[in-house]
Amino acid sequence: QKEVEQNSGPLSVPEGAIASLNCTYSDRGSQSFFWYRQYSGKSPELIMFIYSNGDKEDGRFTAQLNKASQYVSLLIRDSQPSDSATYLCAAGAGRRALTFGSGTRLQVQP
Amino acid sequence: KAGVTQTPRYLIKTRGQQVTLSCSPISGHRSVSWYQQTPGQGLQFLFEYFSETQRNKGNFPGRFSGRQFSNSRSEMNVSTLELGDSALYLCASSSGRVGSTDTQYFGPGTRLTVL
């Protein structure tokens, strides 16, 4: 069974710190990877996608992909209380449906 | 560009009834995927429709069905509702092209409560 694994958390970081969220996947055929943020009671909101090894930066967010290790991460710099949410990692391959992890709950302490 | 819309936003039904949920994708998007999200099971894939054809299907019983219309709008139907069907049902829209960057954008969801 193709799986995406995430630590459920909560991951607690102080305001202004770097939050590091991690995700591993089992399907080596996965080609594209997505990070979604989901506030309680709301639907997932796309933050970033990445499909090449290395880093991809967008504002305070950096996604990192290491296909050899089957590992994806999301770094949030200068974390703010408004970043407190559940972060979902998803992996996709061609026409197959996305596979989502169960999410990591992030708490940013003021 | 308008986002993904889902109707209704909230539904309360009783066991044994059936329900139909609707999703309108982003203009120009041809693929619609449906997910069920519960606290215990997380985000579970139901099915995906592309150009009125079911392209992928998750591991749900036949009580869960869907369809897509020529304007890409999609509906999902759940028959003979069970208590365990209470969940947030999410629709996600994507362009549908085959490739490594077909990003999905979620609608606000329909919260279904089965009593």
Amino acid A61: pLDDT: 98
> Can the peptide bond before residue B108 be classed as cis, meaning omega within 30 degrees of 0?
no
**Residue that the structure tokens 């909230």 belong to:** B10
| Interface residue B5 vs chain A (CB under 8 A) | no
Specify the pLDDT at position A2.
67
Average pLDDT over residues B52-62: 93
CA distance, residue B4 to nearest chain A CA (Å): 11
Q: How far apart are CA A19 and CA B41, in angstroms?
A: 25
Q: Tens of pLDDT along A41-69?
A: 999 999 999 989 999 999 999 999 999 99
Do A94 and B101 make contact, defined as CB atoms within 8 angstroms? no
Residues of B (30-59) whose Cβ lies below 8 Å from A: 33, 35, 42-43, 45, 48, 55-56, 58
Which of B36, B44, B94, B103 is most worth mutating to test chain A (most A CB atoms within 10 A of its CB)?
B103
| CB-based contact B80:B107 (threshold 8 Å) | no
**A:23-82 residues touching chain B, CB 8 A cutoff:** 31-32, 34, 36, 42-46, 49, 51
Q: Helix (H, G, I), strand (E, B), or coil: what is residue A87?
A: strand
The per-residue pLDDT for B99 is 59
